Amino acid sequence: MSEITISINGQDVKAQPGQRVIEVIQTLEDVPHYCYHPGLSIVASCRLCAVELGQKDPETGEVKMIPKMMMSCEAVVRDGMVVKTTTEKVTTHREEIMAYLLINHPLDCPVCDQAGECHLQDYSYGHGQSQSEFFEFKNKESRKEVGGDV
């Protein structure tokens, strides 16, 4: 199969037909995602990898964007595809999803305690809001004793 060309934030990139958009974007920049893995089926449940997609008309060169955002883990590349990952719409969407994920994230998360090994912390720092909109207290579960003293 021959390579196709897509545009990511104005930069032309070669891709293989049938390749996922997220895979091509990852060659240029980090795309936040939780549910995507190349060996698993696509569920697009985390909604973090949303991008704006469009198609360039080969005759006129006019770009026609899809009105709603698409999940880059679901979308398959097409020749002449236009991908935008840094627009205000995408940035706002990622900030809102990060706020949603963080609102009830446990304060005593065992993964977060591993000196920054948590992707949620990394994504929150890179793609989240600097201040929370929420003022409610988080749900904190009490610890359960599962064994006696050793």
Mean pLDDT score of the chain, rounded to an integer? Answer: 83
Q: Round to the nearest angstrom and report the end-to-end CA distance of the chain.
A: 63
- DSSP string covering the chain, please? ---EEEEETTEEEEE-TT-BHHHHHTTTS----SS--TTS-----S-TTEEEEEEE-TTT--EEE-SS-EETTT-B--TTEEEESSSHHHHHHHHHHHHHHHTT--TT-TTTTTTS--HHHHHHHHHS-SS-S--SPPP-PPP---S---
The CATH code for residues 4-85 is: 3.10.20.740
Q: According to CATH, where is 3.10.20.740 located in the chain?
A: 4-85
- Is residue 50's pLDDT more than 80? yes
Band of pLDDT at residue 58, cut at 50, 70 and 90: confident
pLDDT at 79: 92
Examine the pLDDT at 83 and tell me if it is beyond 90. Answer: yes
Mean predicted confidence (pLDDT) in 30-44: 84
- Which pLDDT belongs to residue 9? 93
Nearest to 8 by CA among 61, 54, 58: 54
* Residue range 91-115, pLDDT digits in tens: 899 888 888 887 767 767 777 766 6
